């Protein structure tokens, strides 16, 4: 199931720090950049990249988001100042992205979890998309919301969540992005300056 020196055959469950290190060393799991990677007892810390996507409410006026159409005209890229940070207003929703890039084999799935210390401040990093299928490769887009009534200041490079890996009982027959699943695999290569990807849901309704 895996490569030499890391055989996960017949096992299932959440990977421990020992398993994660062995999977990375053998190459069956890829995470970049590895330099300074902070491995917790059963997860890897992930960090916020400097580029975010925000909804341009003033520019689009009273227009509504049509789920059958692209949303690019509703969104703008912004770069967070590393010293001053960026203000996340009360109840504001933005898209962020992880500095980390990950590639999963066909027998691993992954969860993206927030940090409890940030959750206690009202900062949530995903609305619904906390699960990542086997075969995925790319930076993870984060759905970030400030649920408090006070502004929060966020910074690029801050630890914002965790990757948690689970081994399947058997390898997946079809992996993320295969055409047979009715989905499309988007190019999401490793970048030192990744950008979040806006919703592509409209492509599911236009066939």
The continuous run of DSSP H or E covering 71 comes out as none
Residues contacting residue 181 through CB under 8 Å, at least 6 positions apart: 174
Look up 73 and say whether it is catalytic. no
The sign of the CA dihedral 47, 128, 72, 57 is: negative
Out of 143, 173, 178, 193, pick the active-site residue.
Answer: 143
Q: Are 100 and 46 within 8 A, CB to CB? A: yes
CA dist., res. 45 & res. 133, Å (int): 19
**Count of CB atoms within 10 A of residue 144's CB?**
27
Q: Are 176 and 121 within 8 A, CB to CB? A: no
With H, G, I as helix, E, B as strand and everything else as coil, classify residue 49.
coil
For the annotated catalytic residues, the residue numbers are: 143
């Amino acid at each position: 199931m895996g490569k030499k020196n890391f055989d996960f055959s017949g096992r299932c469950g959440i990977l421990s720090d020992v398993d994660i290190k062995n999977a990375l060393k053998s190459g069956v799991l890829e995470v970049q950049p590895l330099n300074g990677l902070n491995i917790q007892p059963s997860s890897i810390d992930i960090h916020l990249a400097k580029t975010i996507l925000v909804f341009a409410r003033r520019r689009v006026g009273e227009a509504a988001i049509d789920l059958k159409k692209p949303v690019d005209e509703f969104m703008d890229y912004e770069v967070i100042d590393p010293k001053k940070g960026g203000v996340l207003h009360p109840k504001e929703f933005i898209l962020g992205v992880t500095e980390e890039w990950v590639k999963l084999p066909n027998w691993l799935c992954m969860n993206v979890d927030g940090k409890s210390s940030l959750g206690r401040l009202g900062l949530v990093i995903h609305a619904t998309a906390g699960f990542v299928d086997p075969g995925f490769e790319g930076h993870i887009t984060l759905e970030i919301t400030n649920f408090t009534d006070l502004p929060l200041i966020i910074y690029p490079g801050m630890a914002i969540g965790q990757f948690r890996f689970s081994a399947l009982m058997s390898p997946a027959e079809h992996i993320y992005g295969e055409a047979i699943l009715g989905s499309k695999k988007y190019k999401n290569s490793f970048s030192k300056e990744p950008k979040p990807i806006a919703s592509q849901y409209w492509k599911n309704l236009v066939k």
